[in-house]
Structure 1
């Protein structure tokens, strides 16, 4: 009889759109979520320009720091109840680009020690997590968060090149006054400005992230053909977030970003020549846990 390894692991994920707590049971190499809580803090909206003697800076506002502290104080109480064996707290794009990131980390240290992931780490861990759920020999993995879009190419089951772009769902809000898409070509051009067509096509794309996962609720599919995705986009792009929420049983906050995600995946599939989009239930949280655990690294 094999050795049964069982641990309780807590993850705090501070993103541009949501701040999330997930508590997993890790048993025999598998992660089983026991408790999940997401707070739509929209930290991205608290990322503001500030003038200083050294020029203009991009900072998380005092209100944004205060709001995050409130969330983490609540999360700490939840975590303390579960008494996890391991705890991983990390932040991504919105804190990474903030010039006052050190102040932010210092304000949060009474609750958690937070690790800021680099662009490469964010992209790699997300792709690693996706590959735990989707068997992909060759293709593209895209993780679309609120602030950034991570893209990794996979060949022979190995993650090769990873890049991060300022193309998160919240960067497209100017194309959505009142929540309805009014300039589709402008949004597509914004993506093409950053991402150029590669020398070879990839048949398959894997999508990661909450806004992309919402597409599976709309289509009732985890494997979405390009033609189906485009039909879905044409159907929802003229709907308000409230209409999308009511019809497809998606939270209204998520409904505010699902059209951006559908449009981005459509254009990325055009760029990379992909015919099929698979939606992964795993992503950066599962990737960072299992990579750190399997490698014996310390969170």
Structure 2
């Protein structure tokens, strides 16, 4: 089984007309200030730094985290497991969710508060990957405010740096907070560009990420599956594609506003941890740019998961 085939209606939407591409390439490029700016603005699809972590460091993360994974509390797609909190869990995903909102936002901050010291605690054990990524980006942009997202004058803090595992094929989807979180007034809705990093921690067979050269725009809603967070395959059928093959220790970035999907992983027992299969473990976080026209001061790059 490859990527998840989708057909949401007896009469599926027509193929989306091909639009001019901003991509300069389809291959990955190294992480630099220039390549990160290109990624934010949609000019390059992938950034990759192989061997950001050693194989031994990846094994340390696996040994500590793989048995702690639990299912997402709300998820309208294939099984996702995690350690930490994903703001996605508190979003309206299926069409019916938009009609049943209550205190999801306050519940998010309550749940996130339990994990705010996770990465400082891990760093004390020598596992400082999240901090290394954060400071790498922060040091590339000294003229920006680079920080973990907060609200209410810093009294409500988002969580950044989730550990998660996805072993089944996903829907075609994107992650773009100005649409995904529009049911409430989240600070992350103010971002005008959004990217994600995934640091791969497990040796697996399969599990490629396919990034499509189609960014979310309002007309994409014609292709939205009302029963999930996914989109119909006709939205991306004629687009260019870029591919991320999970390699232990590789740090990869892509623009999460682009439609993307993950292929399934061959499930192999993980005897050393007593697990029926090895989770496709990653460390992940979104980053979103709020321009100075909105901040009234410096551009602000915020991190959250």
Could you tell me the TM-score, scaled by structure 1's length?
A: 0.29
Higher relative contact order (CA 8 A, sep 6+): 2
Could you tell me the TM-score, scaled by structure 2's length?
A: 0.29
Whichever structure has more strand as a proportion of its residues is: 1
